[in-house]
Amino acid sequence: MTTLPDWLAAQSVDAKLASVMTTMAAASIEIAAVLRLAAITGQTGLAGHTNVQGEDQKPLDIISNDIVLQHIRQNPAISVLVSEELDEPVHIENQGAYLVATDPLDGSSNLDVNVTVGTIFSILDARKGLLQPGSAQLGAGYAAYGPATSLVITFGPVAAVFTLNDDGEFVLTTEQLSVPQASAEYAINTARERFWDAATKGYVAESVAGETGPAGKRHNMRWIGSMVADVHRILVRGGIFLYPLDSETISKGGRLRLLYEANPMALLVAAAGGRSTTGRQSVLDVVPTDIHQRVPVVLGSAEEVARVEAWYAKG
Ligand SMILES: O=P(O)(O)OC[C@H]1O[C@](O)(COP(=O)(O)O)[C@@H](O)[C@@H]1O
Ligand SMILES: [Mg+2]
Ligand SMILES: [Mg+2]
């Protein structure tokens, strides 16, 4: 059995950088425990607040954010926290070399129906400022709170999966994720079809046409509505996830957030051999201008992402 500390010790990464992973793992274990009992403790429903992005905050969004913040404060290697739930970054008075950007609870609209949600995080060099492209990430990961609690992490070349056991330890269960290059499973919120651009319409129409269309193979559609759960499926068995720019989200720059949703997922997908794009450029090359910036996201199996890019290249 290889536990997370064993695995981290075997990686040739800085011990302090490894400690940031341990901190996020510990936070996610605590969040998992709160989520498991939330219906009994009455921590479900809306908190009555909205976050900086105008979205309803749920008690569990706030509780998860507080748990992450508490854990981060205990690690002197971390000096800055950027969170979906905090308007401003938190600067901690220490010399910590690392910045963590997090979506403490992703997919919170799925909470009350007991569907997988998660915690997503990105690790950056704090000395390089708040607005770094995803290619500058030193590490990234997410915890998926499903039938099992999975922790999927990367420092760049390898994306590994750990599963939480009954002793509160993350145990290595997949040494190296590998996203199949080809796939026939797409994930997109089709209720937004009337807002889509021509490229998205073209790609989805080709997929729906299956073996009778230009894609030449039958596709299947899966949409969970928690980015963590949709991306986890893609990392494990392939597929493509699309949250493109559409006529309704265009003024905001997209739906999903660059620093703590798109970037960490794009780094994990790259580590697993997949690809990501905004349609026009790699997600990892987008230089942010705001910590809560939104971005179009297409990621997953390389051949499917290339098909989407080909549609965008048409016009
Ligand atoms: O239901 P919609 O509006 O299409 O959005 C679904 C997306 O929104 C999210 O729930 C946004 O994340 P939060 O729950 O952290 O705000 C993603 O996980 C998911 O992919
Ligand atoms: Mg989210
Ligand atoms: Mg969230």
Q: Which protein residue has the closest C-alpha to ligand 1 atom 4?
A: 189
Kindly state whether residues 194 and 54 are assigned to the same domain: no
Task: From the CA of 243, give the closest atom in ligand 1.
Answer: 20
Q: What are the C-alpha distances in Å from 82 to residues 86, 101, 124, 183, 189?
A: 7, 4, 11, 34, 27
Q: What is the largest CA-CA distance in the chain?
A: 61
Pocket test for ligand 1, best of 35, 106, 194, 259 (most atoms within 8 A of CB): 106
**Domain endpoint, select from 174, 208, 229:** 174
Q: What is the DSSP letter of 260?
A: I
| pLDDT (tens digit per residue) in 248-267 | 999 999 999 999 999 999 99
Q: Phi, psi at residue 74, to the nearest 5°?
A: -85, -5
Q: Which protein residue has the closest C-alpha to ligand 1 atom 10?
A: 107
Residue 253's region, left for phi above 0, alpha for psi from -120 to 50, else beta, is: left
Query: In whole numbers, what is the pLDDT of the chain averaged over residues?
Result: 95
Residues with CB under 6 A from ligand 1: 55, 84, 103, 106-109, 189, 225-227
Q: Which protein residue has the closest C-alpha to ligand 1 atom 5?
A: 225
Kindly state whether residues 60 and 198 are assigned to the same domain: no
Distance 51 CA to ligand 3 centre (A): 10
Kindly state whether residues 147 and 266 are assigned to the same domain: no
Kindly state whether residues 205 and 302 are assigned to the same domain: yes
ipTM of the complex: 0.96
Q: For residue 260, what is the domain's CATH number?
A: 3.40.190.80
Q: What is the pLDDT of residue 29?
A: 98
Kindly state whether residues 161 and 211 are assigned to the same domain: no
Kindly state whether residues 106 and 163 are assigned to the same domain: yes
How would you classify the pairing of strands 256-257 and 294-295?
antiparallel
**Domain extent at residue 78:** 4-174
Does residue 180 belong to any structural domain of this protein? Answer: no
Does residue 15 belong to any structural domain of this protein? Answer: yes
| pLDDT (tens digit per residue) in 104-131 | 999 988 888 899 999 999 999 999 999 9
Residue 86 has pLDDT above 90, yes or no: yes
Arithmetic mean of pLDDT, 138-143: 98
Task: From the CA of 108, give the closest atom in ligand 1.
Answer: 14
**Domain endpoint, select from 121, 144, 174:** 174
Arithmetic mean of pLDDT, 196-223: 95
Distance CA 300, CA 282 (A): 12
Kindly state whether residues 153 and 194 are assigned to the same domain: no
Which ligand is closest in space to the CA of residue 83? 3
Q: What is the pLDDT of residue 46?
A: 65
Distance CA 94, CA 76 (A): 6
What is the pTM for the complete model shown? 0.96
Number of domains the chain is built from:
2
Kindly state whether residues 189 and 167 are assigned to the same domain: no
Q: Phi, psi at residue 304, to the nearest 5°?
A: -70, -40
Does residue 124 belong to any structural domain of this protein? Answer: yes
Kindly state whether residues 210 and 166 are assigned to the same domain: no
Distance CA 268, CA 160 (A): 9
Distance CA 73, CA 186 (A): 39
Residue 1 Cα to chain centre, angstroms: 27
Kindly state whether residues 160 and 34 are assigned to the same domain: yes
Residue 242 has pLDDT above 80, yes or no: yes
